[in-house]
Amino acid sequence: MKLNLTASHKRIIIIALMVLAIVAGLALIYVQSNNLRQLKVEVEEEELTLNQFRAMLEQRLEHEKNAPIYQKEIAMLHAMMPDKPEEEEILRYFASLAEEYDLRVNQIGFGARVRDEEKGFVRMPLAINIEGRYHQLIELLGHLHHGERAVRIDNLNVSLSGEDSSQLQINISASAFHRIIQ
């Protein structure tokens, strides 16, 4: 069967095929541009993630570089909070401080210990009664703040001691600590 197409029909078919090719091309371009946009978004997300990991890596490398400093700090903190209660050491520590700051220790007593399993230490309450001058007390408190044993002052009561208005009666409620070893 032979189709007789006139020239005008041939032109219409060619134009229709060209329009169809142009529409198909535009559809492919639209699909590809959407894919390209989506890929750009994914690349940006990956770059953001990569930058976050780079920052984490830099931070970890910095921590690794500072490891000797951290080890010294850990050793210092372990010395400030030993593995055992060391009550005798605490008594010697306060006797030494009293002598160094020209204070007189009247009494040091230990209270009931409080274990904090979550934080990994035991709090040892202390009741300390000393006599001395205001300036000596300030020096003692400064030393305790920066001292070699972890001691927290919970309460401090100061009153005049007898007839000498420069002598103070000092009652300190404090806490010393030691670690819980698993």
Handedness of CA 87, 89, 90, 92 (dihedral sign): positive
Q: What is the C-alpha end-to-end distance of the chain, expressed in Å?
A: 98
C-alpha separations of 166 from 7, 120, 132, 137, 139 in Å:
125, 42, 8, 12, 16
Lowest mean pLDDT among 26-35, 53-62, 154-163, 170-179: 154-163
57 and 88 share one domain: no
Dump pLDDT digits (tens) for 135-164.
999 999 999 888 888 889 999 999 887 676
> Is the residue at 12 inside a domain?
yes
Q: Looking at residue 1, what is its pLDDT?
A: 53
> Is the residue at 101 inside a domain?
yes
58 and 5 share one domain: yes
> Is the residue at 36 inside a domain?
yes
> Is the residue at 76 inside a domain?
no
Burial class (CB in 10 A: 0-12, 13-18, 19+), 176: buried
Count other Cβ atoms within 10 Å, centred on residue 147.
Answer: 13
Q: How far is CA 173 from the centre of its chain?
A: 29
> Is the residue at 70 inside a domain?
no
How far is it, in rounded angstroms, from Cα 155 to Cα 143?
16
50 and 139 share one domain: no
159 and 88 share one domain: yes
> How much is the average pLDDT of 25-52?
94
Count other Cβ atoms within 10 Å, centred on residue 35.
Answer: 10
135 and 94 share one domain: yes
Q: Looking at residue 53, what is its pLDDT?
A: 95
Domain membership of residue 40 as a residue range? 1-65
Q: Looking at residue 57, what is its pLDDT?
A: 94
Question: Any idea what the CATH number is for the domain that residue 139 is in?
Answer: 3.30.70.60
86 and 117 share one domain: yes
Q: Looking at residue 107, what is its pLDDT?
A: 93
pLDDT range class, residue 34, cuts 50, 70, 90: very high
> Is the residue at 106 inside a domain?
yes
> How much is the average pLDDT of 41-68?
94
> How much is the average pLDDT of 121-141?
91
Whole-structure pTM value: 0.58
> Is the residue at 114 inside a domain?
yes
Look at the chain and report how many structural domains it folds into. Answer: 2
172 and 91 share one domain: yes
> Is the residue at 71 inside a domain?
no
Dump pLDDT digits (tens) for 69-109.
989 888 887 777 888 888 888 899 899 999 999 999 999 99
